[in-house]
Amino acid sequence: QVQLVESGGGLVQAGGSLRLSCAASGRNTSRYAMGWFRQAPGKEREFVAHISSDGGSTGYADSVKGRFTISRDNAKNTVYLQMNSLKPEDTAVYSCAASRGPLSTTRGDYAYWGQGTQVTVSS
């Protein structure tokens, strides 16, 4: 069992930055691949970024590539999402998720989810 708690969301102007954190607790959390997903009002939850258990591999949605960076600190059991050059269309609830399998962009491959943190980008 893995518990995930996100933090760092808030209100920011377009062009600004935020750093989200996802604190993991439970057994062997460092063995999980981790992902960030987001869900905007009226839309389905979509993949944002993922990182392998050792941090050696990462992947991004085309919409955030070059602006967002995912990283992890296994000593602190924490995964981060650095978001730069934010746009109004980045407004959503951002959730982190954990998977025992290989890197995936598919929601169903992630067994554990956090409650999410709201990110609002004003124009």
What are 85-115's pLDDT values in tens digits? Answer: 999 999 999 999 999 989 999 999 999 999 9
Mean pLDDT of the chain: 97
Tell me how far apart the alpha carbons of residues 39 and 106 are, in angstroms, rounded to a whole number: 14
Which residues lie closer than 8 Å to 28 by C-beta, 6 or more apart?
Answer: none
SS3 95: strand
The tokens 């935020």 sit on which residue?
A: 18
Query: What tens digit of pLDDT does each residue of 29-53 get?
Result: 999 999 999 999 999 999 999 999 9
- The pLDDT, as a whole number, for residue 41 is 92
- The pLDDT, as a whole number, for residue 90 is 98
- The pLDDT, as a whole number, for residue 120 is 98
Region 73-96: mean pLDDT is 98
Tokens at 18, concatenated: 């935020």
In single-letter form, the type of residue at position 113 comes to W
The tokens 């102007």 sit on which residue?
A: 13
Q: Kindly provide the residue ranges of all beta strands, DSSP E only, lying in 61-116, ordered along the sequence.
A: 68-73, 78-83, 92-99, 112-113
At 6, is the pLDDT very low, low, confident or very high (cuts 50, 70, 90)? very high
